[in-house]
Every structure is written in structure tokens, then in C-alpha cells.
Structure 1
Amino acid sequence: MSSNPKIGIVGAGIQGVSNALFLQKKGFDVTLFDRDEPGSPAASYGNAGHFSPYASLSLNRTDVLADVPAMLLSSTGPLALKWNYVPKMIPWFIKFILNTSKRKMMHTAKYMHQILDLALPAYDELFDEIDLEGLVENKGILYIWNDKDLKSRELEIKVRDELGVKQQLVNKHEIHDLEPNIRPFYHAGVYYPYARHARNPKRILLKLFELFLKKGGKFEKSNIQEIKFENEKPIFKTEKEEYKFDKIVIACGAFSKKLTDNLGEKIPLDTERGYHVHFKDCDHLLSRPVIFSNRGFGITPMEQGLRVVGTVEFGGLENPLSKSRIKNLINNAKYMLGDLPEHEDEWLGFRPTLPDFLPVMGPSKNYKNVFYCFGHHHLGWTLGPISGKIVSGMVAEENTNLDLNPYSSHRFA
């Protein structure tokens, strides 16, 4: 029997797998749990594939409230509601509105920037141990807009400048040189040359998962029904049996709330529903991800074709996929690129989002051997490894020079 402390992790997406790998580096004996196989069609499979270390400004912007009604009324817009879910979301929306002041916006931006700045080096630490086979491309990420969207872009650019984010403003000609196949509806944009994108997020996740197994990690495909305790040591109860650990990490994204409620901690986690479709054999049309800011959608060239992603829909975990949101993505893609073949792979996934748009990372309020790592909203893919590295350090009780207070769940107490 190994005498290394035993850690159980709920969730085998990019957060859970990253936590597992960094805990292994520290000598822990790790078991991952998920009710699905790793790489299943959840958020780590279906995301936009961006590694976006610049994205420190979130939805809780001072100007966003004025834009919401127009966004909701526009059929091409980035925002939608499932009306049957609105009553459930009212407490979340109230907290969200309270987080759109200038002070709160800058607080979120500062502490997102702190971890985003470390995000790519943390990925590289893990990538050093696998054969990436060209699955990550370093061609930057391009945002474009037309004039009527300039106001909100100015705010974004100014805040990123204040934080020291490297950004390159581009004009029409420069955009055309970067991406000649985009229809010329745009007026200007910003290019982040050091950003990267995944050619296939699922295959990258599976390579990291295989590395975890190769290093002696264990995987249990089962649903954690409840968490119990014996002498402060956490126990996972599944349909079939119980598993006892020294410490555990809850990293199952939008599904984490069921477990934190079970632990008697009220964390206002909800979900932003995101969609994607693919246009097969069209990935040669773009060299890098392109985001059209006015409509809040983007297109990433991937192995599966062009992956069109976007929209934010508030509708919880139970509502079915919205055909109107899928149609919105198809129309937007054709607006950007003209004629495209029939789309494939309609997908809906869940972004775990807190009303202040900061993740929750750190120990539970009520149990010192339980750690959280969820709530990364649109940046779960970008922030997986750095979050895993930070939380593994907390589990190991190491000192850090980062200010980790802002990510604590205690802020909701």
C-alpha cells in the first residue's frame, strides 16, 4: 500500500484532469470520478478551443446592463433566456447586477488577469509531457467589429491597457491580410498574437487523461451521490460503493452545485448555456479563431471543420437544446463567410458561472479537507492547468505569492 495521501476528484474535464496531474507531481495518490467517460460531449469537448490569456474582462461590465434589453430582443444577438428558468435565476441576476459597478468590474478583471497571465506557462508544463501532434496552433486570436459596437470595445481596450494586457489594434486592411475569406462587413478589430487555439480540445484532454493513467492515476466511472465524513475524512458515496479519501476536490463545472449544496454551502453557481455546430471540410477558410464582437459568436478552425460557437443562454441544466440558438449560429457563420455547406453536430454545453465572474478555488467553508475548483465561465478551457496548479498547492498546504482570497467561496457567505 502506498502511504501517499489519497485524493478523490469529482469531474474528469480539463479542471479535474489538470488538478489530478498537478497533484500527482506533488506525490499524491489520485482517483478521478466522472459519471461519463473523459472526453464525453461536455464543456471540455465542445468549447471554442481558445487559449485566451487576454480575456480578463467579463460580462460584469459597467456598460453591459444598458445593452441587455437590445441583446435579448435581437434574433442575431448573443443573449437569450429560457423564460421557464427566469424565476429561478432572479437571485443570481440581482447579485450579477450588484457586480457591474466600476469597482467590482476592476476587481474581477484584476484577479482574472492574475491567473490568466500564468495560464499558458501552466499548460506548457503539462504539454511538455505529451506528444501534442500539432493539436495546438500559435496563430493568435482575432476579434472584429463594426462601428456601432465601438463604445463597448473602447471600455475593453482601456481596461486591458490598464492591466498591461498586450493587444494589437488592427484596421480593415490588416484584418483582410490576416483573414482574406471574411466578408468585409467589419471596420476594425484587435489581434492577440500570443493567444493560441486547439485543433481538437477533446483529443488534447484525452492525451492529458492518458498521461494521468500512465502515472498511476485511477478512474472510476460513477456518479457521486453524496459526500459523507468520518473523522473529518471525506467519503464519496456512489450507486455501488463508498470511497474514503484524505482530501477531495470538486471540479465538475456546472454540476458542482449539487455537491456544494450537499455540503451545506450556498454558492450561487448557475449555468450559461453555450452552443456549437461544425461545417465540415471548411477549416481552410480561416487561419485562426475569429470572434465577431457585435453578435457575440466566434469561429475556430478545427479538425472537425469550422466550429461555430457562442451565444449565452440562461436556462439551467434541464431545458432542451434551443433550435433558434442553433439557427442563430448558422446565420452568423454565413454572415461572416458567405456560402457554407450543410452544418453538422449540434451541441449544447454548460458554462459554470458565478455572478461576479470569478471562479471558486480553495477550501470549502465547512470542511477543511474539501477543495473547490469550478465556476470558470467562458474561460474553463484556458484556466484548467493554472487552476489545477493553484488548487494542488492549496491541497499540499504550500505557500504562494498569489493573492487567492478573491477566489474563495467565503465571499458568498
Structure 2
Amino acid sequence: MSKKLKIGIIGAGIQGISNGLFLQKKGFDVTIFDKDEPGSPAASYGNAGHFSPYACVLMNRPDVLTDVPAMLLSSTGPLALKWNYVPKMIPWFLQFIRNCTTKRMMHTAKNMHQILDLALPAYDELFDEIDLEGLVEKKGILYIWNDQSLKSRELEIKVRNELGVDQQVVTPKEIHDLEPNIKPFYHGGVYYQHGRHARNPKKILLKLFDLFLKKGGKFLKMKVQDINFDEEKPVIKTETQKFIVDKLVIACGAFSKRLTDNLDEKIPLDTERGYHVHFKDCDHLLKRPVIFSNRGFGITPMEQGLRVVGTVEFGGLNNPPSKGRIKNLINNAKYMLGDLPEHEDEWMGFRPSLPDFLPVIGPSKNHKNIFYSFGHHHLGWTLGPISGKIIAGMIAEENTNLNLKPYSSLRFS
């Protein structure tokens, strides 16, 4: 196979840039398209900054359905709906409910574990080529809860044990020793010693993007309007130009659905909206990310201060941000740490979620020269490089010992 195939990638977040770097390693000529500059305030900029190799138990679990009404009614809870978006979400929710059986939960967990297990080594391959300057810390990640949340937590711990995930159940005293500044409202927790966190996700993304350019990659700041075909070759249509490529990767997160719909592939991708705020000059209060499971939010110590992130809001791409969700984060942070200064930097971003909580990684159903790398919900940041490595292997037609069928878009047809 002639190695200098031209590959186009739509999306300049962690998925797109990771795909670009691994495709370059295979000798391909790569161009990334995005309507915004890399590092713009999208999901790869505003996320919690966790590298979470343990996070294989997702939202599709049998106990979630009994919890959802209470979550929606609680002002401090992790879940919210924009009511004007509910009619659009109904088909997604019906599929989600079908995925909330023990069997489907285990299917998701097993196949998330398969790629999460390879996620940090894939990052290290890319990190070996840049100067990280202390932008990644290896201090583990801590989850805490109080007794109301215990049954759900026991289920997660059991599933992760079955899959061989490294986890350490911690007592209140051990939690206090790890993070003495947290108010003692917790009854238990789990410490994941192999978790890492980013001190500044945007800076890491830009360093990887610079590496991509240095290796001959091209970036075009253009909005892709449609994809057509010249015989079987994808034609990328922007507002002013057309570009023919040999293969195309769609990696634009929550915005991927518009393109897959146009390719006549009905992938039930929807949007979870996530929020963050910063408390400047407070990052000394925590040594590592801490997540309070009952309320579904977390705090990560970063260069910008303490980044408080969380809540899942189903509201689509067009609704304005919810002031209530921001207030919720501020109140939760103070509940965990007591007095904090005035917050800064209110941010909202979009997470692409599928009803079985597995990403789509692999070729399109209808077009053999189009590949997908999206739908990674809360784990897009963790799974960027491993997804890129898998796609690069597929495009280079290499054999793999991974079972990639569970990530195929064919599961929705």
C-alpha cells in the first residue's frame, strides 16, 4: 500500500490531534480541519483533566433507573434536563434504558476496560516526544461518598474487581490523610493510585498540536459543511473550497452527528453538557482530583486554580448555559472545602454520549474510506491517544488482537 495516502481529520480536539499524530507515525500525510483554533474553549479545553484508566463502570447500570427521578429533583444532584429538549431526547433515553441491564452494563464495562487499560501507555508514546514541564501529575484520583450512596458504590467496586482494575478502598481516616482540607462529611471512598491529572489540559493539547505541525501536519481553520464523494474518495466541502482525501476521520465530538446523519448513518449520538468554574490561587488545598460521588462533581487542582467540574445536563447544542448548574458547582465546592474566594471562568462544553456508553471507533457502515472516532462521553480526554492509535492501525490495515467489534457503528443498524 502506498504509504503517502492523504488523510483528512475533522476536529482539532484531543481525539483529532491524537488521530493525526498516530497516523503520522504510520507515514500518512495528514490535514486537520476545524472551525476553531485548537485549544479553543471546547471539551478538550474545559474537561476535568483526569486521566482515568479505571473508569469502566458507566451510567448504564440497573440501579441508575431508580436513582434518576431523585437526581432530577435534587438541586445539588448530578443530573439535569433542559425541559425544552426532552422531546428530542426521548429516543435516546429509551435506548439508554434498554442498556441498563446487568448484562449490558458488564458488556460496556468489559469493553471500556479493554481500551482504558491501554490509554496511559498510548499517552506516554506521545508524551515521550514533548516537554511536559510538570503539566501531568501522578498522584492518583480519589472518589469519596457518604452512606446514602453506598449501594451504588459497592456495585462499581465489585465490577471493577471482577475486571482486575487497580483500586484501593479507603477509610475516612485514610481519606483525611490523603486530603486533610476536605470537610469530614464522607464515610468512605476509593483511591485509584494509577490515575493522573493535567495541570492545564489546554497547554497539553497545544503541545501535542505543535508536535503534529512540526512533523509536517497541516491545519485548516474552516467549517466543514458536508462530505461528498469522488468515486469512493471523500470530498470535504467547506464554505469556500473542496478537498479530496484518500481517507477521512470524523472526530468532532458532539458535533459529529450532523456529518454522520448526512452520510445516511443513524448513530444515536447526543450531548451531555458539562460545566466548570475556577477558584484562583486555591490549588494548594488539594493534592489530587477529588470526586464526590453522591453529587456527581469533582475538583481538580490546576494552574488556573481549583477547577470544579461536573453535572450532566441533557440540553443539546443550542440551549444557553444554565445559571443553576454553575451555582450548583459553587455550592458543592464550598460544601467540600468550606470558605472559598469569588469564583471565575464560567464554562460550558459538550460531551458526545451514546446510549450504551461505548464510543464509536472504526469505519463507517456505508463508506469504507470514512472512519469515526467520537462518542467518548466523560472519557474523551483519557481515550484520545488510544482511539487515535486504533484508527491509525485500521487505516494502515494492520492486524490487532483487540476485539474492536463493540465500538463499531454497526451496533446501531
- TM-score norm. by structure 2 comes to 0.99
> Which residue does the alignment assign to 1:129?
129
Query: In the aligned structure 2, how far is the partner of 1:218 from the partner of 1:128?
Result: 22
Query: In the aligned structure 2, how far is the partner of 1:200 from the partner of 1:143?
Result: 21
> Which residue does the alignment assign to 1:388?
388
> Which residue does the alignment assign to 2:229?
229
Residue 404 of structure 1: how far off its partner (Å): 0.2
Residue 3 of structure 1: how far off its partner (Å): 7.1
Residue 49 of structure 1: how far off its partner (Å): 0.2
Tell me if 1:184 matches 2:162. Answer: no
Regions of 4+ moved over 6 Å: none
> Which residue does the alignment assign to 2:175?
175
Query: In the aligned structure 2, how far is the partner of 1:55 from the partner of 1:172?
Result: 22
> Which residue does the alignment assign to 1:19?
19
Superposed CA offset, 1:246-266 (max 9, x none): 000000000000000010100
> Which residue does the alignment assign to 1:397?
397
Query: In the aligned structure 2, how far is the partner of 1:73 from the partner of 1:84?
Result: 17
Query: In the aligned structure 2, how far is the partner of 1:342 from the partner of 1:357?
Result: 35
Residue 148 of structure 1: how far off its partner (Å): 1.1
Tell me if 1:365 matches 2:375. Answer: no
Residue 381 of structure 1: how far off its partner (Å): 0.2
SS class of match (1:142): strand
Q: How does 1:280-291 map to 2 (within 5 A)?
A: 280-291=280-291
What letter is aligned with 1:392? A
Tell me if 1:300 matches 2:300. Answer: yes
Q: How does 1:258-337 map to 2 (within 5 A)?
A: 258-337=258-337
SS class of match (1:210): helix
Query: In the aligned structure 2, how far is the partner of 1:143 from the partner of 1:102?
Result: 23
Residue 396 of structure 1: how far off its partner (Å): 1.1
Residue 397 of structure 1: how far off its partner (Å): 1.0
What letter is aligned with 1:87? P
SS class of match (2:132): coil
Residue 167 of structure 1: how far off its partner (Å): 0.4
> Which residue does the alignment assign to 2:86?
86
> Which residue does the alignment assign to 1:243?
243
What letter is aligned with 1:154? E
Residue 371 of structure 1: how far off its partner (Å): 0.2
How many residues get paired?
A: 412
Residue 57 of structure 1: how far off its partner (Å): 0.5
Name structure 1 gaps, 5 residues minimum.
Answer: none
Query: In the aligned structure 1, how far is the partner of 2:230 from the partner of 2:194?
Result: 48
SS class of match (1:355): coil
CA contact (8 A) 2:181 2:286 kept: yes
Name structure 2 gaps, 5 residues minimum.
Answer: none
Identical columns (%): 82
What letter is aligned with 2:81? L
What letter is aligned with 1:205? L
What letter is aligned with 2:139? K
Query: In the aligned structure 1, how far is the partner of 2:172 from the partner of 2:361?
Result: 41
> Which residue does the alignment assign to 1:5?
5
Query: In the aligned structure 1, how far is the partner of 2:56 from the partner of 2:391?
Result: 20
What letter is aligned with 2:61? R
Query: In the aligned structure 1, how far is the partner of 2:147 from the partner of 2:324?
Result: 26
Query: In the aligned structure 1, how far is the partner of 2:94 from the partner of 2:395?
Result: 33
> Which residue does the alignment assign to 1:31?
31
What letter is aligned with 2:111? Y
SS class of match (1:182): coil
Query: In the aligned structure 1, how far is the partner of 2:246 from the partner of 2:61?
Result: 40
Superposed CA offset, 1:156-196 (max 9, x none): 00000000001001001100000000001011100001110
What letter is aligned with 1:6? K
What letter is aligned with 1:199? R
Residue 200 of structure 1: how far off its partner (Å): 0.2
Query: In the aligned structure 1, how far is the partner of 2:3 from the partner of 2:93?
Result: 47
RMSD of aligned C-alpha atoms? 0.7
Residue 62 of structure 1: how far off its partner (Å): 1.1
Query: In the aligned structure 2, how far is the partner of 1:371 from the partner of 1:3?
Result: 18
Residue 231 of structure 1: how far off its partner (Å): 1.4
SS class of match (2:224): coil
CA contact (8 A) 2:281 2:306 kept: yes
Query: In the aligned structure 2, how far is the partner of 1:158 from the partner of 1:295?
Result: 21
What letter is aligned with 1:329? L
What letter is aligned with 2:87? P
SS class of match (1:72): helix
CA contact (8 A) 2:3 2:27 kept: no
What letter is aligned with 2:257? K
